[in-house]
Structure 1
Amino acid sequence: MSNPYTPNAGASPDIIVGRDEQTKAFRTLLRRLARGRTHQSMIVTGLRGVGKTVLLNEFAEIARAERWEILEFEASKHDDTKFRQTMASLLKAALLRLSPRARWTERAKRAASVISSFALSVDQQGTWSLAWDVEAAEGHADHGDLGLDLTDVLVAVGEMAQERERGVAILIDEVQFLSTRQLEALIQGIHKTVQRRLPVTFVGAGLPQIAELAGDAKSYAERLFQFPKIDSLDDEDAREALTEPAAGEEVAYDSDAVDLAVEITQGYPYFLQELGYQVWETAEKSPITRVDVESAREGYEAKLDASFFRVRLDRATPLQTAYMRAMAELGPNAQKASEVARVMNRESTQLGPTRAELIDMGLLYTPEHGFAAFTVPDFDKFMLRAVPTLVIPEVQKRRPKSKKS
């Protein structure tokens, strides 16, 4: 029998449980916009491993079933030029799917011209293009300002989609890696489409700090978006996430085996998939017992350490590693910057840049002012295993400038 568990980043499990509230809210969003009504867009927040990407993929399937066009990509630390290129390419493809070129109406032609203008502003030297012979629209999406240009193009595409009785959903994963200017431009563009009652929405997924970043980018973001937070599954949903895939293969779990699995994983979806996978490889018959789960635990922790956790630690400098190790020594909760500095025998001001770097890398987030927490569940335990001793690098002292004679 094939292993029914999928411990891969963003891979959808056989069943998605515990996210009915979010999928219902997304359906409501699409249907209200389709009727010409306004509704808040969404940015889903949560730690690593809680299923944000899986949920975003589910949103894409829902939108396709509702006959919406999907623009989806994973954000990364690209400059504005790369962001513009990505958006222009996706908008062109969406426009052509909404209507074949041979059947373009005046609104469709105008939308195409505005997209060309938006693309041309990326590179006026012509070293990059959309590879279609549509003349750019003068005075639209050619301001040289990302916010104004993106607003023009979203309105033009939204008007064309509305004419076709369709909609456009922009789905972006890892939203926290958008630059402030890029996030601000998206928010500004969506704000205008809301004012025009156009069927365009931006739905993202990101780490917990994105709600604060969105508010910093535009003060009205909190009124424009919902920020649903997803976390570990409750006991009932966690049990279902573990047992239902096995039941599909006619394999059962003893209740105490499920109890132990939920205790080990704390209900985190990714951890449940990884433990389920290891248990499936270990168990020899049905029903799966508590002993089977215990036997799989070592392999489960080793797999998480080698991939899910290690890939994040390997990106850190020695000082960043020491900062996270000091946090882990203080426990799993959010830690005060001054307390971490005390453990490292440093001043908070000395470590401020290191803390900011870790936040920028997506390894830490700030649940409240002055505190930081890991973005990955159980990362504190991993740090204690992986770095048994706290080693604090020496501060490199600057050499005094030599005096000229």
Structure 2
Amino acid sequence: MDSVLNPYTPNAGASPDIIVGRDDQTKAFEVLLRRLSRGRTHQSMIVTGLRGVGKTVLLNEFGEIARGERWEVLELEASKHDDTRFRQTMASLFKAALLRLSPRAKWTDHARRAAAVVTSFAVSVDQQGTWSLAWDVAPEDGFADHNDLSLDLTDVLVAIGELAKERERGVAILIDEVQFLSTRQLEALIQAVHKTVQRKLPVTFVGAGLPQIAKLAGDAKSYAERLFQFPKIDSLDEAEASEALREPAAAEGVQFEEEAVQLAVEITKGYPYFIQELGYQVWEIADQSPITQLDVETAREGYEAKLDASFFRVRLDRATPLQTAYMRAMAELGPDAQKAADVARIMGRESSQLGPTRAELIDMGLLYTPEHGYAAFTVPDFDKFMLRAVPTLTVPEVRKRKKT
């Protein structure tokens, strides 16, 4: 097989040649945009799922759909920045969106006001002027200068939304890794979008993140469950997984024998990233079409080695010895969500001693909490990897933290 023609894309966020099993989500997004464009309200979306199920790919697809509808798209991958850095990033994105919505030479009153509000938002970051948007637009007094992120962001989104409405356009804010936003930042986004809904403006915030996002959004604002849909994406079913494997190869004139497809689906369990990785490895070792069951079986060792060396290993390498021991103890209990007390028992410790470690792993995005008192890995088969990578459970000494 020609490696240049390999149609599989086992890369973070890389869109496969064919997106399978996400029609419901893309149709829902199209409805969202078209209703907002007609001056009607509709729930925005926050897509949830484990690592590697295609959340970023889906968010990128949403961006293409929005641009096709002539919407301005602001794209951001959230990280653990303080509010100042978050404001700077958002101010830069708002400035760029405004100039695309309306070139400066054609500014109307709505455009001038929106620009002034964006300046106010930027000035409030650093009133000494060591950071600026690098344009000579005076701030709008009384707007986006409250020194309150929620109020300031609301003023900006309303002003940008009014300009977009005048231009018969829309603004879609697409944020990946939403779980890394601080509570204050998430609260501000939710409150700002809520105001644009009340004003019936063509603005939406669509996010993607780990499964705990629905709870985090609800904790940030109680009305979030009514403001957003929270579609969950998961592994593909057997038919979808088969299509995701077959169709990219077929586009290059290569076929799979049925037994080869069945084995590949069994190995990957329909997990989108695993399908791309296994497909890539199979393509590299196969000599000709059709690809056989033996080809898939032969590629399996390389597939597992690649996952261990990259997809899984980068997560383990970020962990401290105590965090590693905690995950190793979870793996010993199996692939399902595990109760904190059971993990502590395996480690010969008390839950109170290990609570901070568990919280750190959740904060790092290595674990999530499907229900109170339980934690699970954010990627499938991580338990098996932990058993391979850390053959023996070794628990560093931990001390019970004193109450103050």
| TM-score, normalization by structure 1 | 0.98
Q: Which amino acid aligns with 2:22?
A: R
State which of 272, 276, 290 in structure 2 corresponds to 1:273. 276
User: Is the 2:263–2:293 contact (alpha carbons within 8 Å) kept by the matching residues of 1?
Assistant: yes
Aligned to 1:236: 239
After superposition, the C-alpha distances for 1:156-197 in whole angstroms (9 at most, x for unaligned) are 000000000000000000000000000000000000000000
Q: Which amino acid aligns with 2:128?
A: Q
Aligned to 2:342: 339
State which of 23, 28, 32 in structure 2 corresponds to 1:25. 28
1:84 is aligned to 2:94? no
Q: Which amino acid aligns with 1:156?
A: A
User: Is the 2:353–2:399 contact (alpha carbons within 8 Å) kept by the matching residues of 1?
Assistant: no
After superposition, the C-alpha distances for 1:200-231 in whole angstroms (9 at most, x for unaligned) are 00000000001000000000000000000000
Helix, strand or coil for the counterpart of 1:197? coil
Following superposition, the deviation at residue 394 of structure 1 comes to 1.5
1:69 is aligned to 2:82? no
State which of 109, 112, 126 in structure 1 corresponds to 2:112. 109
1:96 is aligned to 2:126? no
1:6-405 equivalent positions in 2, closer than 5 A: 6-395=9-398
Helix, strand or coil for the counterpart of 1:48? coil
Separation in 1 of the partners of 2:248 and 2:103?
Answer: 42
Following superposition, the deviation at residue 397 of structure 1 comes to 8.6
Separation in 2 of the partners of 1:168 and 1:214?
Answer: 21
Aligned to 1:402: none
- Structure 2 unaligned runs (5+)? none
Stretches of 4+ aligned residues off by more than 6 angstroms: none
Q: Which amino acid aligns with 1:373?
A: A
User: Is the 2:45–2:228 contact (alpha carbons within 8 Å) kept by the matching residues of 1?
Assistant: yes
- Percent identity over the alignment is 84
Separation in 1 of the partners of 2:52 and 2:65?
Answer: 22
Separation in 2 of the partners of 1:129 and 1:154?
Answer: 19
Aligned to 1:401: none
- Structure 1 unaligned runs (5+)? 399-405
In the comparison of the two structures, how many residue pairs are matched?
A: 399
Helix, strand or coil for the counterpart of 1:131? coil
Following superposition, the deviation at residue 316 of structure 1 comes to 0.4
Q: Which amino acid aligns with 2:362?
A: I
Task: Output the aligned Cα RMSD.
Answer: 1.0
Separation in 1 of the partners of 2:242 and 2:137?
Answer: 55
Separation in 1 of the partners of 2:93 and 2:398?
Answer: 47
Aligned to 1:403: none
After superposition, the C-alpha distances for 1:371-392 in whole angstroms (9 at most, x for unaligned) are 1000011100100010001000
Helix, strand or coil for the counterpart of 2:205? strand
Following superposition, the deviation at residue 396 of structure 1 comes to 5.7
Q: Which amino acid aligns with 2:298?
A: S
Separation in 1 of the partners of 2:371 and 2:133?
Answer: 44
Following superposition, the deviation at residue 305 of structure 1 comes to 0.5
